[in-house]
Amino acid sequence: MSTNANYLMQIFEGMDVPAFLHDSQFKLIFVNHAYCKEAGVTKDTALGKLYWEVFPKGLGPQPNCKLKIHEHGAQASSDKFTAGDKTFLSYEFKIFDENTNSSIYFHVMTNTTQRTLAILSLDKIINQFKILFERHPDAVILLDDQTFVDCNPAAVKIFGCKNRNDILDGNFLKKFSPPLQPDGRDSMEGAAENIAIALKNGSHLFEWTHCRLDGTPFPTEIVLVAFEQNGKRIVQGAIRDISESKAAVDELREVAFKDPLTQLSTRRLFEDRLRQIILKTNRSKQHAALFFIDLDHFKRLNDNFGHLVGDLRLQNVAKGLTASVRSEDTVARLGGDEFVILINELSPDIKIAKPEVLKLADKIVKKLSTQVCLSESSHKPCQLEDTSLCHCSASVGVVLFSDNQVSAKELLEQADEAMYKAKNAGGNQFHLYEPDITK
């Protein structure tokens, strides 16, 4: 059952007016305490049966009832029904369940024996909804025809605001969303797409990155519920901060996808991030760069000094590469003495992005060079006195890309090709991949 349906079940369970839920085959799948009390049955005896079969005296609307839009905005049965000396009217709410790709129906029964009592009962339901809206632990916002018209106290808190006006004044989406989502999608375009899905299907569950009032980004899970009221399209959004759960998942991913020797990302995690960056650059038009790094004469080092020395060398290289880039960039060990670096969010202007990438490539080559290793004892990765056979240089292949529809596999092949050109030229240098326009 959808998250939206579960929310409504929790709401109706606490009401003191009868309420029930049935599927498209009219079978009861939920009844609240007040409904059982009114009918004199238990939940176990009611669930799974056709709702008009449960009560011999006819307590419940019949399937041939005509429907109309009630004056209060709810879809309701046009025919009254009786149970003993009481008269009832059922208000129906249609909900689309994404899990089963079908509709389910909520009914709230109002006693209309006396018109005054009916109005009071409806007002009570509205007040209960208002209380639940105000006290809901998740942030809840209301969107009325593209305008954010209300929010609850939890929304004020989650966005780091002082009052409702901080949220409702101005453009909510621009104010509390970064320009781009993590996948590179424009936030305004993405928000419009999600709202359209909710309006079409009745509800929509998705993840979204918001910003607090001070600009701090944080991940959320959002449930949008769409309905009509007085001829207007209303969308209610329940927003939950999932920072802690995301952090826990990320921590588990880091443990699962971390190379035990160097503590760098593994090939599997790197390839996943590379695919994400490709999608992001296709949307944002920013440039990104892929560095393929292979150590020169690493086999000779292992053969002469043993694998323990080789491992020390790999660990030293990992530290050097990590220190050369930003925290948001990715450094990974593909295996053996092969490493990769993924740099993203470079300038859309190739004239700006390219010099930055070449400068970084030169920096990496120099940091891993044999000359630095031999001249400065603090840089010796092998901790050896005899360094006559210790070659510590590296060959680096570089690929610069942006919105070119190239796959992750092709980018790795291009970076690998550029690396081999650097190695065949003697190593201890970098080479920038240039596509062969003759092919």
Q: pLDDT means per 10 residues in the chain (439 residues)?
A: 62 77 84 84 87 59 44 44 68 67 75 58 64 83 82 92 88 90 90 92 93 93 85 87 84 76 91 91 90 92 83 89 92 95 93 95 89 58 61 90 86 96 94 72
Query: Where do we find the tokens 């006290």?
Result: 135
pLDDT at 66: 42
pLDDT at 382: 61
Could you tell me if 52 and 81 lie in one domain? yes
Q: List the beta strands (DSSP E) in 53-202.
A: 67-69, 75-77, 81-83, 86-97, 102-111, 139-144, 147-151
Neighbour-count burial of 222, counting CB atoms closer than 10 A to its CB (0-12 exposed, 13-18 middle, 19+ buried): buried
Neighbour-count burial of 373, counting CB atoms closer than 10 A to its CB (0-12 exposed, 13-18 middle, 19+ buried): buried
Could you tell me if 130 and 145 lie in one domain? no
CB 167 within 8 A of CB 156: yes
The pTM is what? 0.47
Residue 232: domain span: 139-245
Q: What angle do CA 204, 205, 209 make, to 5 degrees?
A: 120
pLDDT at 287: 94
pLDDT at 422: 96
Kind of pairing between the strands at 429-432 and 394-401:
parallel
Sequence-separated (6 or more) residues with CB below 8 Å from residue 351: none
Could you tell me if 239 and 285 lie in one domain? no
pLDDT at 133: 76
Q: Is the dihedral of CA 201, 207, 208, 214 positive or negative?
A: positive
pLDDT at 38: 79
pLDDT at 56: 46
Could you tell me if 285 and 416 lie in one domain? yes
CB 2 within 8 A of CB 205: yes
Does some domain include residue 103?
Answer: yes
Q: Is the dihedral of CA 163, 165, 169, 171 positive or negative?
A: positive
pLDDT at 387: 57
Does some domain include residue 97?
Answer: yes
pLDDT at 49: 87
Q: What is the CATH number of the domain that holds 102?
A: 3.30.450.20
Could you tell me if 283 and 424 lie in one domain? yes
Could you tell me if 161 and 109 lie in one domain? no
CB 297 within 8 A of CB 357: no
Query: Where do we find the tokens 């018109």?
Result: 115
Does some domain include residue 254?
Answer: no
